[in-house]
Amino acid sequence: MTSPPLTPSARLRAAVRLTRWFAARGSDPAHVVVQFRPAEPMACFAGGVPLSRFEDAAGEQRAAAWALAVCHVHRDRGPDYLAGLAEEVRAALGVVDGHCVVRCEPTDPERVFSLQDGQMTDSSPALVGAAQEGR
């Protein structure tokens, strides 16, 4: 996710909220990776206009006035799932009236590898089966 810089606690809240959202829909929480990329001022533009920073009175970013997110999800996830995910990303970041774009990239679990018991392995058969069932 790219947005104005957020406080560590705001990033933690968003990551936990998104992890819980995915877990409630059958995803293994260990497979939910949330990465934040703070944007410098004048680094992101929409329609040629810079997306501005939003800061509270103390100068700390507590909610994103804008955000760009890329989510990698199983290709069998339907439109309702993707729309729900987009809304959850928006809500987790606290974007109310700003610019928010969530792009969902289809990903096959067998093309994602992670370290398990000292070896890189693709997603477990149980996870692949659950994802294909649309859970």
* Tens-digit pLDDT profile for residues 125-135: 444 444 444 43
Report pTM: 0.79
- 86 pLDDT above the threshold of 90: yes
- 110 pLDDT above the threshold of 90: no
Mean pLDDT confidence for 112-125: 81
The set of residues, in sequence order, having a beta carbon less than 8 Å from that of 98 and lying 6+ positions away, is: 51, 54, 64, 65, 66, 67
User: Please, what are the domains in the chain?
Assistant: 2-132 (3.30.429.10)
pLDDT in tens, 51-79: 865 455 555 556 788 999 999 999 999 99
